[in-house]
Structure 1
Amino acid sequence: MPLVCERHQFSLPHSGLLVVASRYYLNSNVYNEGGVTLVLAHCSSGHKEQWVPTLTKLLDLCLRSPSLQPQWRVREAWALDAPNHGDSATLNKAALLGHKPLSIQHYADMLEFFVKSDFVKGHRVVAIGHSASTSAWTLACAANSPPPLCALILVEPVMLPPPVTERDLKKGDTNSSTVLARQEVWDDHKSLREWMLKRYPWKIWDVRVFELYLKHGFIEVIDGSTGKTSVTTKCRKAQEVGFYYADDHIVAGKATSITCARYPVHALFSERPEMVSLGARKAICDASEGRLMASISVISKCGHLAVQENPEGLAQAIYDILLSSCEKDLKGGMCLVPAARL
């Protein structure tokens, strides 16, 4: 059953930056007002539309489920572009020109504002983040006035809990250097497609996510002096690098215990430990330090970019969390998703 998509736009009160959000729901006679509303945030260099294949599968699983109770079926889902990513970046182009890179804290402020806004007022919200946005969600949820959430799902979380090593600090610098060295302008969409299909990680992405990235992650620009048209990323790399700086990920690592004390926090890791090592996973989920996860699961057949590589496997993992939350309500016990070996 196809997803219906509505485009919305709002302005952030402190910065005035614009944010574009998409509201998704099934084109069905069944609209469950008592169910959960998902609010999804993307990774660095990502955009809101990359969640569509995962959402399509997830909502279908919920619709067909004989076991999921109404309060844990998905009512609707919202996916947001960070102010310097996707459609938001296009709207903020002039404001961001020459602006220092937005940080993970900026991302967190946006997420906190949205989940307290009238868009989802009175909804039972489940927040979902991937990669960089997991640190943003953690900061938003550890704020002095925490948002009202039913649960928080972290896909490949990248916060840096103490003790932070020199290797952790260098990882952010390495990622920033890689981004700044990356090609950013192509002659046309054809050359862009050919370039990406020859390179990792794009060449191993799910074809649906890849096509969505080509469609929504890039924009045509015209050189004012020559009149030549070219293609470039909506999120310019001078802005993207801000999400790799270690400072906010360190703060998020320290705040994870606060977030875990306030909400059921579910960690989803990928089968291939790429960005998040096995040791880092254990540190993030160290219950002895207060980082007690409601569940820990592993998504098969993917590396760090689970949203891009295995959206259906990710959808199943999220569905399992919703189902386990439903069973917990019915039985009054702990979350029933089995703990994974990290």
Structure 2
Amino acid sequence: MSTLSSQTYTLDPRPSFPLLISLKVYHDPQTTSTDPDALTLVLAHATGYIKEVWEVWSIEAPNHGEAAERNRRDVDWCYRPVFRWEDYARSVHLVLSGGGTGVDLDLSQHRLVGIGHSMGGVAVMLSTTFYPALPYASLILVDAMLGPYTSASDAVRGVLVGGAEKKEDTWGSVKEAREGMLKRGVWRAWEARAFNTFIKYGLKPVDKKVPNGAVTLVTPKVDAAASFRDPHGLTRGYLYLSDLVKRAPTHMIFGKIGDSLPNFIRDDVINVASGGKDKLASVKLVEGAGHLVTVTHPKELASSIFDALQITGASLPPSATKSESSKSKM
């Protein structure tokens, strides 16, 4: 099994958009393809997560992770107490459309598959609403936070905001952070590699001058709470789903356990908001998983994503480049 190579970029889209955007590109040197029909996977994360939760093209919300500190003044002044999911969607669009400097990769001719979890699912969805249109071959929404405007959805938002504001975010050392997290059931449920990845990338020194001292979360909890507090993200995605499925084949993957959003809302999203289950490219439920499927059941989720990619690959016509090449050989 080969080791993935990676490179981190920072997109500067100013003056079109005020926030810097961090992203990480993973690839396998042994299997990287120059085939024009190859798919490029682009992924967006959930609130409070980091871009390293995914190992492909991973775009970070600009109030999270690496960019959060560099965007500190703008975030403090303009993106609290609410950070809109549409601003994450705008970030995804800017990266994929080449709307800035700092990323020397042109994706305009790639066959893109947008994959997003939770808030990231809505960000990927809404990235299709900006101009120019992105060349998505398909979208894969992983337990995307979608739902109608109800008292239940308001209650879910309140619980998430409260949890973000109250969670522990500073420890005396990396070792203390690891031990403290593993005392809580939610962290113990994480798959070992996912947990170790978060420990590696999700923490930073409280004081840069003391790199081995106290650590805190790279995404301040106040910014995670600001993302959860967006009153429109969940319902905006819900209302847009029936239009989205007309623009690009849309696959939906859910953890079978309805913990963050009740199962009846999930069923409503699949059967009603989409315009009918038959309008979706595929629907998959991951056994034993809940909303944190990306970190509790990453292998099972990867298998479900692979199945969706197989459907996508089989449904695409040959690219113009390949068609012209075939003609020239005849």
Cα shift readout 1:114-163 (whole Å, capped 9, x = no counterpart): 221254121000000001111112222234653220000000011124xx
The farther-off stretch of 247-256 and 24-33 is 24-33
TM (norm. structure 2) is 0.85
| 8 Å CA contact 2:239, 2:273 repeated in 1 | no
Q: Secondary structure at the match of 2:93?
A: helix
Q: 1:140 maps to what in 2?
A: 127
Alignment partners' CA distance in 1, 2:19 and 2:159: 29
- Counterpart of 1:167 in structure 2 is 152
Q: Counterpart amino acid of 1:174?
A: V
* 2:325 counterpart residue number: none
Q: What is the RMSD computed on CA atoms of the aligned residues?
A: 2.4
Partner of 1:12: 13
8 A contact 1:223–1:229 mirrored in 2: no
* Equivalent in the alignment of 1:203: 188
**Which of these residues, 258, 274, 285, is aligned with residue 270 of structure 2?**
285
AA at the equivalent of 2:79: K
**Which of these residues, 75, 83, 88, is aligned with residue 62 of structure 2?**
83
2:237 is the counterpart of 1:252: yes
CA shift for structure 1 position 223: 9.5
- Aligned partner of 1:27 in structure 2 is 29
SS in structure 2 at match of 1:255: helix
CA distance in 1, matches of 2:203, 2:19: 20
1:316-327 to structure 2, matched below 5 A, reads 316-327=303-314
Q: Is the deviation greater in 249-258 or in 95-104?
A: 95-104
- Is it true that 1:106 corresponds to 2:87 in the alignment? yes
Cα distance, 1:223–1:87 mapped onto 2, change above 3 Å: closer
Q: Quick check: 267-276 or 279-288, which moved more?
A: 279-288
> Alpha carbons of 1:28 and 1:82: their partners in 2 closer, same or farther (altered >3 Å)?
same
Identity %: 25
Q: List aligned pairs for 1:92-131, cutoff 5 A.
A: 92-101=71-80, 102-117=83-98, 119-131=106-118
Q: Give 1:289 deviation, angstroms.
A: 5.8
TM-score (norm 1): 0.82
User: Partners in 2 of 1:213 and 1:228 — Cα distance?
Assistant: 17
- The one-letter code of the counterpart of 1:50 is V
Give per-residue Cα distances to partners, 1:210-258, cap 9 Å, x unaligned. 011011011102299x999421111111111122233222122111111
Distance in 1 of aligned mates of 2:131 and 2:237:
14
Q: Residues of 1 paired with 2:25 and 2:212: CA distance?
A: 36
Q: Structure 1 residue runs of 4+, over 6 Å off?
A: none
What CA distance in whole angstroms lies between the structure 1 residues aligned with 2:121 and 2:211? 41
* Long gaps (5+) in structure 1: 53-76, 331-342
The answer to whether the Cα contact below 8 Å between 1:157 and 1:276 also exists between their aligned partners in 2 is no
Distance 1:107 1:260 in 2: 20
Q: Is the Cα–Cα contact under 8 Å of residues 139 and 252 in structure 1 kept in the other structure?
A: yes
**Cα distance in 2 between the residues matched to 1:112 and 1:238:** 25
Name the CA distance, whole Å, in 1 between partners of 2:308 and 2:85.
Answer: 26
